[in-house]
Amino acid sequence: MTIRLRTRAHVFWRCLFLQAAWNRRGMQNLGFAYAIEPALDALYEDPVRREEALARHLGFFNCHPYMAAAILGGAIHHEERVAAGEEPGAAPLSYKATLQGPLAAVGDGFFWTALRPFFGAMAALGALVAGWPAVVAAVLLYNLVHFTLRAVLFGAGYRQGDAVVGVIANLALPRVAEHLRSAGVALCGAAAAAVALRASGVAPGTENAAVLVVAAAAGAGYLALAKGTPLFPAAYLVALSGTIMAAVTGWDGRP
């Protein structure tokens, strides 16, 4: 018993709404049930079994929204076997329960704290030195990677079930993330330099002072944040002290 490609595509589309009704009780439960519904409709002709299947997917679920595609694919993989009578109804649930935490960690560690900030920093540097086309390019590139992985994970989960873990392991996401983070930091450093050059550029004759202000704000800010200073107070303090310092010394950022 297998479902058609069309139905799978429908599930994948709905998977993009996974967090539409995110709530503390069931987290992505409603989103997961919404996403898998077309597959269950195709698999269970008997309305009683269909409802029973949908009800089991309304239980607690939470994962990284991209990585959840793998679990959604795998849940359909198991539901096909449940519908065929090869597995008990609990099989898709234990699959979901086992994988959600670890895959969420992989997704958080790769997409949210490495890939997206890396492209964010790249787009920010691009905006500073090349303007909006660089931003468009960075966002497109990010989504090329993002959608490819989302689709690959969904397909691998559907076709391979439990073996999707091996597929994900082969992607070596934590190792790639490590490199992306370091590269992202380097981009932030380059962005600081770009800011300093822009600041000095608008005020000929005061190049060194402008570079010093930016460097001092970046350096002191980095140390303060590393010591645990919260972001908002730090931002206000730096912006206001820069302003006050300039007002007191009479330097107005112009020649």
Partner 1 sequence: MIPLVRVDNRLLHGQVLEAWMPRLGATTVVVADDEAALSPLARAAMTLCVPCEIPARIEKLAAVDFAALADSTAVVLLLVRDVAGLVEATTRGLTPARAPLLNLGNVHFATGRRPVTPSVYLTGEELEALKRLAAAGFRIEARAVPTEAPVGLDELERRYAAAR
Partner 2 sequence: MGYLLLGIVAGLAAVERKGFLQAMLSRPIALAPLTGLVLGDVAGGLAVAAPLELLWLGAVNLGAALPVHEALGTVAVAGGAVLAGQALGTGVTPALAVLALLAGAPMALLGRRADRLVEQGNERLALFAEEALRRHHPHVAVRLNLAGLAMPFAIAAVLAPAGALVASTLAVWVVRAAPQLDGPLRVGWWAFCGLACAAGARALRARRAGAIFSVSAAAALLLGMVLRVSP
Q: Which residues bind partner 1 (CB under 8 A)?
A: 24-26, 60, 62, 64, 95, 98-109, 112-113, 162, 165-166, 168-169, 174-175, 178
| CA-wise closest residue to 73 among 47, 107, 99, 102 | 99
Angle at 14 between CA 157 and CA 135, to 5 degrees: 90
What is the rounded CA–CA span in Å between residue 100 and residue 92? 12
Q: What's the rounded Cα separation, in Å, for the pair 123 and 139?
A: 7
Q: Where are the alpha helices (DSSP H) in the chain?
A: 5-15, 29-43, 47-56, 68-83, 91-107, 116-130, 132-160, 164-171, 173-201, 207-226, 231-249
9: partner contacted, choices partner 1, partner 2, none (Cβ within 5-8 A by kind): none
Site string for partner 2, 90-109 (x = CB under 8 A): --------------x---x-
Q: Binders of partner 2 among 142-171, rule CB under 8 A?
A: 142-143, 146-147
Binds partner 2 by CB under 8 A, chosen from 33, 69, 82, 106: 33
* In the complex, minimum distance from the CB of residue 197 to partner 1, in angstroms, rounded to a whole number: 33
In order of 22, 56, 93, the CA distances from 64 in angstroms are 12, 20, 17
Nearer to partner 2, 96 or 161 (CB): 96
Residues 152, 163: contact at Cβ < 8 Å? no
Residue 106 binding target from partner 2, partner 1, none, CB below 5 to 8 Å by type: partner 1
For position 130 contacting partner 2 by CB under 8 A, the verdict is: no
Query: Helix, strand, or coil here: 27?
Result: strand
Q: According to the binding rule CB under 8 A, does residue 49 interact with partner 2?
A: no
Which residue, 91 or 194, has its beta carbon nearer to partner 1? 91
Distance of CA 150 to the CA centre of its chain: 11
Nearest distance in Å: CB 104, partner 1? 5
User: Among residue numbers 51 through 80, which ones bind partner 2 (CB under 8 A)?
Assistant: 51, 54-55, 58, 62, 65-66
Choice between 161 and 184, CB closer to partner 2: 184
Closest approach, Cβ 136 to partner 1, in A, equals: 29
31-39, 76-84, 89-97, 164-172 -> range binding partner 2 (CB under 8 A): 31-39
Q: What, of partner 1, partner 2, none, does residue 138 touch, CB below 5 to 8 Å by kind?
A: partner 2
CA–CA gap between residue 33 and residue 242 (Å, rounded): 52
* Of residues 175-214, those binding partner 2 (CB under 8 A): 178, 181-182, 184-199, 201-202, 210-211, 213-214
Q: Are 40 and 90 in contact (CB under 8 A)?
A: no
Name residues whose C-beta falls within 8 Å of residue 9's C-beta, 6 or more positions apart in sequence: none
Smallest distance, Å, CB 199 to partner 1? 32
Residue 21 DSSP SS3: coil
